[in-house]
Structures are given as C-alpha cells and as structure tokens.
Amino acid sequence: MEDEEEALSSSEPIDSSDEFTVGHHNDNDDDYNVDNDDDDDEASSVADSPPSDEERKLKNVDALVRGNLVVKRQSLLPRVLSVTEGAAVCRKPFKPPCSAGYNDGNEQLARRLGARKRFVPWGSSRPVLFTITNRLDVPRIVENDILEENLTLPPGIDPLVLWQPEESEDNVGSSVPILVDPLLVRFLRPHQREGVQFMFECVSGLCSASIYGCILADDMGLGKTLQSITLLYTLLRQGFDGKAMVKKAIIVTPTSLVSNWEAEIMKWVGERIKLIALCESTRDDVVSGIDSFTSPHSPLQVLIVSYETFRMHSSKFSQSGSCDLLICDEAHRLKNDQTLTNRALASLACKRRILLSGTPMQNDLEEFFAMVNFTNPGILGDAAYFRRYYETPIICGREPTATEEEKKLGSERSAELSAKVNQFILRRTNALLSNHLPPKIVEVVCCKLTPLQSELYNHFIHSKNVKRAITEETKQSRILAYITALKKLCNHPKLIYDTIKSGSPGTAGFEDCIRFFPPEMFSGRSGSWTGGDGAWVELSGKMHVLARLLGHLRQRTDDRIVLVSNYTQTLDLFAQLCRERRYPYLRLDGTTSISKRQKLVNCFNDLSKDEFVFLLSSKAGGCGLNLIGGNRLVLFDPDWNPANDKQAAARVWRDGQKKRVYIYRFLSTGTIEEKVFQRQMSKEGLQKVIQQEQTDSHSAQGNFLSAEDLRDLFTFHDKVRSEIHENMDCTRCQNHNDGPESTEEGDEEKATIKNCQLQQEVSDIGGFAELAGCLHKLKSSEKQVGSPMEEDLKSWGHHFYSMSVPDTILQASAGDEVTFVFTNQIDGKLVPVEPKVNPKMQRTEGNMNEICYKPNPNQKSNLLSQHHRLLKPVSSTGNSIKFTSPASLQPSEKSTVKSMRTSLKGAVKPKLSVGNQLPQKRSSPDTVQHDDDFE
C-alpha cells in the first residue's frame, strides 16, 4: 500500500489540499487501491489539465453518491518538511511515542495509533484497522525469554526435582519431570527445599489418596512465604501431563499483608505471574477485580485477597474452575469452624489447600482439629469422635493428678494423632535460623506492684462484686470484664482511672477508688488528670522499669526497641512517655491505614533516620511485619493466646537482623499476669502433639499446674518473688543464697542428672554473660540447662538478683521493682554487630556532665523517698484506705513537699536544655519539667 501511495505522490503537484479521484470501488478491498487503467488515465488527465472547481465538485458528488471516491493524500507540511521524500515519511504508520511500546492490555490503543483514517463514504462499511507492526517491545520480550532459558544454577547448588516420571516401555517420553525454576532454586535454603517438596507431594496427591492439603507450620522467620511462592510458580507452569497443574490460585491473607504478598511475588518472580491484589479498593473495584479473575478467558492467574473481602464476596467463587489452589496465610484465623469466614472458605470447590501458620496449636486441641479438618476434610473423623477418642485422653493424661493408666493412654493417643497429622503437617522451629541470625536472649522479667497498685488490686479482688462473681454463676462477659480490669491495673493505674471515668463494664469493684490516687496526679482547678509533671511513671512497677530501660538504651547504645501491648490505652501511655522524654517514635495500631503501615515499617527499618521506639498493637500488627530495624522488643502484657505473643516477639529476630536480639516479657509479680503466662506454658506443651519428636518421660509432657490452679485467677500473692517459680517446685534454686545445692546420698539418678546439668551449664550461649561481665559470677541455678524449649522454664536461668542477668541494660534498669528474672539464651551463628553509643547522645554527653545531668545520688534518693511517702497509705482498715493529702499535712510537712517539688524541678530543668537538642518531630507541644535520672 505504501509503495503505491509513494508512486502516486511522484506525479502529484505540491499542494496542501487533499485530492479526490473517481474510480470503480471494490467493497472487498480495504486498501487504497484504484481500479484498472481507467483510474490511471483519469489521474494523468487530472495532472495534465487540472479541472475547474465546478467540474471537480460535480465529479466528487457523483463519486460520493456511487461510492467510488478514492482519496489521495499529500503531506500536511510539505514546505516545512525538508527531508528527502518527506511526503513518504509523513505517510508512514504512526510510531509509538513510548520506547517500550505497548503491552497487551493496550492493544486497542496500539491499533488506533498505528492506523490511518480513511474517508468512508455514506453507505459503506467501516474499514478494518490494522495492528501496529513496529512495536518496540518485541525484541525485549525475545531477549527475556532467551535469558530465562539460559539461566543456570551456581556451582554447588543442585536442581530441585519435585517429581520424576517412572521409566516404562509403553509411554516413553509422554511426561517430563517437574523441576523448580533455577530462578528460585538458587535462593532456597535446605529446609525450604524440603518444605517445597513436602507441599508438592501433599497437594499433588502423591502422599496419600485422601490427602490434597497441607499445613506448613514453620516458626516465624523460616520463609513460609518464599516456599509458597516457589510451589505456586512451579504449579502454574508444570504438571504431570506436561500441562500446568494449577491455572488459577487464590491467596487469602490478613488485610495488612495483602500488599506484602504482592510485593513478595514481584520480588521473586517479577511479572511472570499475572496477578491482581485487592487491597483498600472500593466495592466496585473489588467486584470488578473478582469478576475479571473468575472470567474463563481472563489471563489473571493469582488473586490476593483479605479474609474479610473473600467472606463478603464468596458467592462469586461458586462456579467450577474458579480456584485450583488455595493458600491461607496466618491460617490460625481458621481455628473456629463456626465462623462465617471459615465456612465461606470451606465451601470453595478446591481440594488443594495450603495453610501457613507459625502457631497452629493455640488454645486447645479443638481449634487444632478445626484447622486440620479444613485442610483435609474428614481425615480425623467428625468433631464428636475427635473429642472422645483424642482430646479427652490427651488432656487427662497431662494433668498432674493423672494416674499412670491415664498418662499411658494419653501418651498413646498423642503419638497416634501425631503420626496421622504429620503426614500433611510440617513443623520446623526457629532453631534452624541459628545459622543465619545473631544470638537471641529471652528474659521474663517479674516486676512488683507499686503501693498504689497493690491497694487497688486488693480492694478490687475483695470487693463484693468480684466475690459474688467467683462464688455464684455470673455471665461470662462479666467475668471477662473483671479479668481485663485487673490486667489493665497491672499495666498502670491510669487505665483504671480512665475506665472509671468512662463507666465501662468491669468497674463494679472500682467505684470508690478515685480517692486512692495521690492528689498530685490531678489539676487543682479542674480535677482532671495531669500526671504530676511526669511522676505518673512511678505509679506502675512495669512502667517505671520500662522508663529506665528506655533511658539507658537511648544514652548508652544505638539500639532501637519495639514496645508491644494488647491495649491501645497502654500505647497511649507509651506515646506520652516518649513525648515527655523526647524520644522519636512511630505507632501502628488498629486505626493505622493499610497503606500507611508498610511506610511506617520501612521508616523504622531505615537506619539513616533517627527513629528509636516503635509502638505496636499485638492485635493489629503482630503478624507478618518485619521490624529488623529494632533488636530489642518488650511484650508489656501477656495474652491468653500464646500465639499472639509468639507472633509479636518474632518481629525482630528475622532474616536481615544483624544485632543481638533481646526479648523482654514483663509480668507483674503475684498477679493475674503470672497466671496468664502459666496458662501459655500449658498450651505450649500441646505443641508436642504436632512435632515429630516425642519425649519418653510422661512427666515432661504434663502441666506443672492443675486445672484448678489455673482457675484460681482472683488471688494476689504479694510476698513472693515469682509465683511461677514458686509453683514449679524448682530443685535448682532451693539454696540460691548458698550456691549449688548438694544431692542426697544414695540417689544416683539425681546425681547423674545433676552432673549432666552442670556440664551443660558451663557454656555461655551467644556470649551474653561474658558481654555483661557476669559470666564467672553466675551460680548454678543462674545458668540455663542446655538449650531449653520456650515452655520449659525449669531449665532456664533463674535470677533472684538483677545483677546476675546477662544483660547490662536490664542490670542498670531493674531497680527495686524487678523481683525475679528467667533467661533463655539462643545461639546464632551470625556474628552480631555490637551496639555503639548513640552519636547524638555522644555529642551532648560532655554538656550533660557540665550542667549537672547527674545529681547527687543521696539527694535523688531523698527526693524519691519523699515522693513515695506521699503515695504511701497511712492507714488501712478493711477495704478503706487513706492516703495523706497535702491539705492534711502539718506546716512543716507542707514546706517539705514544697521544697521537694522545687528540688525536683531544679534538678530536671538542665535535662530539658539537653533534650531540646534531640529530635523533636513528634514531641509534645507542652513543656515537660520532670524526668528520671538514668545513672
């Protein structure tokens, strides 16, 4: 067509107007062809003697009516375009302005840009547009294909063959082996290769004819996401018959992880998988996206959607072929088979199901059964059979009061259940991470209550409402409200004050407790809470220890810390503490938008920014986040579900962490928090059911607390250092003041165990004790026995005094509030990066010393003792407690109070001049005049 037009242009006059010639139109020809010699003769006649305008008009009208009008076009700018053959250049197809051309989704746009319009007479059909032929991205696609085909594995890495066809004479060459793409194999660690192979054998039916689902129950940080992406990418491209085993896959995940899954897939396989992620989309966008995915002719292969979105639109996936593989991340969300989400997913016509959960065993075996039954329906019978045959004997055999027969039966049923479920459950602990991560230490810190907390606690548990709730049948919601009130009191009395003011449930025992609070906490005029110029921190034992810990951490290291709590009210107090001390902080809770969450995580992990504290709600952000920018984490309050605490604690000890990791679990001594933690340890013991290794000792599998003890929640043991330690009847600490205890004569078995323990206690795992300078001062009971499990507190290090704890920061921060510490050191092969002094604090260290940053210790202790004397009750009669108020003080005492306040302000003011030099981008606008002395 272009050649013909160029030939016509050679005989055309230079004119800016279009020229029309009449010819016999052929309806079957869509090009700019003219018919036979008549048109050529007419064209030459037009060139020899141009017709008049009237003649040309008559001819054009006649041709227009007959449909025989042909257009001959000239260049639009013939005089401006001075290049050779300018007219021919102007007639060439439109060149795409984008250097990469157009993708397949813009095919209509490419066709329109690449075609030239043609005059269509009345009555004629529309000419067919031809597609563009000089797309610039074609060579790039070819190059990428060649690059993928030539991709080879590095030396020392073997190919990962998931399935090898059996050789037979009948069907030679009818099937090909299934191999994982070298693109992914080179990044897989040995345990991840094993995980991909295991999942493939389950979902492909090679494991058993009745098993098509599996649970990957690896601990947090072992790469469950990468293993799942590897299997997904393989099944989308390969299968037993040479065709793809999976055409469409759905990934269901918590809302906060939808974008993370999309980013991970793009990171590992790029655009080789066509996916759609529905995150923070409008309802119309969600419906459109789901319809596009479920369309039979859609090129989309993977849909990433949240649990809530899938539940609301589950009816759209009812048609067959809408899903060939289902992947459920954080699958412990499916622990209750009666929820709408669980039912919606269970009704999906997809037998290949992969559940990912680092904590598959949470509260009890019934929840575990719900997950197993969702994965492979009917594999363990119905719920009633499972409860009768498995759950009851196992639970009874674990009680301390169980008979030998019950223990034996429980052990047998536990082994039988373990053997059955381990066909499709793969569980590896984070001990595998020791080769790739630095050492870690877990510290359970018991902090005693302050006098105010103790009085409030005793007043509440002895109130008529609580006694009535314990002795009589009360609604479960009322009991839970009382439990929540006690847990909030352990965090800080300010939470109780807020609860009383709001009038929320659970305040029945706190009606007249406002009088217990020291008047310094309130404004003299309005009576509203002011915090006493920062003295509010000292009203809570745990909060006081945390404040000192943050101060030492900020001064002496460049470490960053994550603070985790179950209550947003506690996060509010953390934020207030950070504002008053001018600590840079970030916060992520349930009110944080999904799009902002990843930005906060990236900001905290960016070491070039001056971030120090990350406030995290365990309910909103405890799963899936990667907070490797921090190497210290505080679990400020325990959760009934051990999975929530384990998920939150795993945020910092993950791939990419370079520093030593410190995990602190704060518990209020003798309170409901210790009982909650004991319950966690009891639930963790059930984890052995789904692990391959089984202990021979029946006692090792049991609880050291009976069910009656666990129900005894509303008691307060204020005379113990640790109720947990008291209840475990520890033989290692019987004579903790006199060093290692001696074994009884004639008890050879105990002596042998003791000698083995002493040999195991010699090593300092991770080098924490040596770094803290207490390695050679540790007693036998203060050293852990071997490498104990998290629930085996008996084998942890037991510290009655904080100076023996292998952590210099906690040693300096403990004070009188810390009564007992359990420690468990976990080895890591990665050489850690040792902390440095905060450069910003180092620049001002000299100025701090010059402006009396360290006041006289005696003066400080006197001031604090006077402050505590104000908070201390002077009389107690039953439930009636009286506190000394400034109004009732003698004149001499009033002057003491006044001088104490003046001294406090005078001692702290120089600190604020230093604090003003620190980052203040999130500081409070109010001027703060009180701070702790951290030296």
pLDDT, tens only, 802-860: 999 999 999 999 999 999 999 999 988 888 988 887 666 655 444 433 333 333 434 33
Band (3; pLDDT cuts 50, 70, 90): very low
pLDDT tens digit sequence for 745-801: 444 444 444 444 444 444 788 889 999 988 888 888 899 888 888 778 888 999 999
Look at residue 168 in the predicted model and tell me its pLDDT: 58
Mean pLDDT value across residues 225-252 = 93
In the CATH hierarchy, which fold is given to the domain comprising 449-513? Four Helix Bundle (Hemerythrin (Met), subunit A) (1.20.120)
Residue 561 has pLDDT above 80, yes or no: yes
By C-alpha distance, which of 816, 433, 837 is closest to 661? 433
User: Is the model more confident about 497 or about 872?
Assistant: 497
Window from 220-224, 708-712, 917-921 with minimum mean pLDDT: 917-921
Residue 266 has which token pair? 């793009």
Query: Which residue type is seen at 821?
Result: V
For the chain, the average pLDDT equals 74
Handedness of CA 921, 923, 929, 934 (dihedral sign): negative
Residue 485 has which token pair? 């009130």
Look at residue 615 in the predicted model and tell me its pLDDT: 95
- CA distance readout (Å), 901 to 521, 768, 864, 894, 930: 13, 41, 11, 11, 10
Band (711; pLDDT cuts 50, 70, 90): low
Close Cβ partners of 310 (under 8 Å, ≥ 6 residues apart): 250, 252, 317, 341, 344, 345
By C-alpha distance, which of 446, 267, 283 is closest to 805? 446
Number of separate helices (H) and strands (E) present in the chain: 37, 21
Count of CB atoms situated within 10 Å of the CB of 237: 16
Residue 887 has pLDDT above 70, yes or no: no
Residue 927 has pLDDT above 60, yes or no: no
Look at residue 553 in the predicted model and tell me its pLDDT: 95
Residue 924 has pLDDT above 80, yes or no: no
Look at residue 507 in the predicted model and tell me its pLDDT: 62
Residue 498 has pLDDT above 50, yes or no: yes
Look at residue 649 in the predicted model and tell me its pLDDT: 86
Question: What percent of the chain is modeled with pLDDT above 90?
Answer: 32
Residue 334 has pLDDT above 60, yes or no: yes
In the CATH hierarchy, which fold is given to the domain comprising 161-376? Rossmann fold (3.40.50)
Look at residue 122 in the predicted model and tell me its pLDDT: 52
By C-alpha distance, which of 505, 488, 799 is closest to 668? 488
- CA distance readout (Å), 300 to 250, 268, 277, 285, 303: 11, 18, 11, 15, 8
Within this chain, domains 161-376 and 440-444+537-686+700-741+755-826 share the same CATH topology? yes
**Which residues lie across from 663 on neighbouring strands?**
442, 633
Look at residue 131 in the predicted model and tell me its pLDDT: 43
User: Is the model more confident about 275 or about 464?
Assistant: 275
Mean pLDDT value across residues 548-559 = 94
Look at residue 655 in the predicted model and tell me its pLDDT: 83
User: Rg of the Cα trace of the chain?
Assistant: 38
| Maximum C-alpha span of the chain | 134
Look at residue 443 in the predicted model and tell me its pLDDT: 95
Helix (H, G, I), strand (E, B) or coil at 610: coil
- CA distance readout (Å), 154 to 183, 250, 597: 11, 32, 37
Residue 743 has which token pair? 């074994």
What is the phi/psi pair of residue 546, to 5°?
-65, -40
Look at residue 374 in the predicted model and tell me its pLDDT: 93
Residue 902 has pLDDT above 70, yes or no: no
Structural contact between residues 447 and 818, judged by C-beta atoms closer than 8 angstroms: yes
Residue 375 has pLDDT above 90, yes or no: yes
Count of CB atoms situated within 10 Å of the CB of 746: 7
Place of tokens 């020791």: 434
Residue 154 has which token pair? 């590095």
pLDDT tens digit sequence for 589-646: 988 887 788 889 999 999 999 999 999 998 776 566 789 999 999 999 998 877 788 8
Which sequence spans correspond to the domains of the chain? 2-92, 161-376, 440-444+537-686+700-741+755-826, 449-513, 840-915
Look at residue 6 in the predicted model and tell me its pLDDT: 40
Please, what CATH class does the domain formed by 440-444+537-686+700-741+755-826 belong to? Answer: alpha beta
pLDDT tens digit sequence for 780-791: 889 988 888 877
What 892-900 contacts at long range (C-beta under 8 Å, 24+ apart), as own/partner pairs, is 896/866, 897/866, 897/870, 900/863, 900/866, 900/867
Residue 512 has which token pair? 């007249």
Look at residue 909 in the predicted model and tell me its pLDDT: 35
Residue 730 has pLDDT above 70, yes or no: yes
Write out the H or E segment, with its range, that includes residue 631.
none
Write out the H or E segment, with its range, that includes residue 633.
strand 632-635
pLDDT tens digit sequence for 52-75: 878 888 888 888 777 777 766 655
Residue 149 has pLDDT above 80, yes or no: no
Look at residue 886 in the predicted model and tell me its pLDDT: 36
User: Is the model more confident about 935 or about 70?
Assistant: 70
pLDDT tens digit sequence for 499-525: 777 766 556 667 677 777 887 777 666
User: Is the model more confident about 854 or about 680?
Assistant: 680
Look at residue 753 in the predicted model and tell me its pLDDT: 47
Look at residue 41 in the predicted model and tell me its pLDDT: 46
**Strand locations in 598-727 (E):** 613-617, 632-635, 661-668
**How far is it, in rounded angstroms, from Cα 154 to Cα 176?**
23
User: Is the model more confident about 395 or about 903?
Assistant: 395
Residue 305 has pLDDT above 60, yes or no: yes
Q: Which residues of 118-150 are buried (b: 16+ CB within 10 A; e: fewer)?
A: eeeeeeeeeeeeeebeebeeeeeeeeeeeeeee
By C-alpha distance, which of 579, 623, 661, 642 is closest to 833? 661
By C-alpha distance, which of 542, 517, 540 is closest to 527? 517
Structural contact between residues 177 and 166, judged by C-beta atoms closer than 8 angstroms: no
User: Is the model more confident about 268 or about 473?
Assistant: 268
Residue 16 has pLDDT above 80, yes or no: no
**Strand locations in 297-439 (E):** 302-306, 325-328, 353-356, 425-426
Close Cβ partners of 288 (under 8 Å, ≥ 6 residues apart): none
User: Is the model more confident about 721 or about 934?
Assistant: 721
Query: Which residue type is seen at 293?
Result: F
Residue 45 has pLDDT above 60, yes or no: no
Close Cβ partners of 771 (under 8 Å, ≥ 6 residues apart): 806, 808
pLDDT tens digit sequence for 434-493: 788 899 999 999 999 999 999 988 888 888 877 777 666 656 667 778 888 889 999 998
Look at residue 497 in the predicted model and tell me its pLDDT: 82
Residue 681 has pLDDT above 90, yes or no: no
Look at residue 427 in the predicted model and tell me its pLDDT: 87
Counting beta carbons within 10 angstroms of the beta carbon of residue 486, is it exposed (0 to 12), middle (13 to 18) or buried (19 or more)?
buried
Band (687; pLDDT cuts 50, 70, 90): low
Look at residue 645 in the predicted model and tell me its pLDDT: 83
Residue 532 has pLDDT above 90, yes or no: no
Pairing of strands 818-826, 797-799: antiparallel
Look at residue 363 in the predicted model and tell me its pLDDT: 67
**Which residues lie across from 163 on neighbouring strands?**
178
* Residue 577: HSE in the Cβ half-sphere, 13 Å Cα cutoff: 27
pLDDT tens digit sequence for 183-223: 999 999 999 999 999 999 999 988 888 899 999 988 887 88
Handedness of CA 641, 645, 648, 654 (dihedral sign): negative
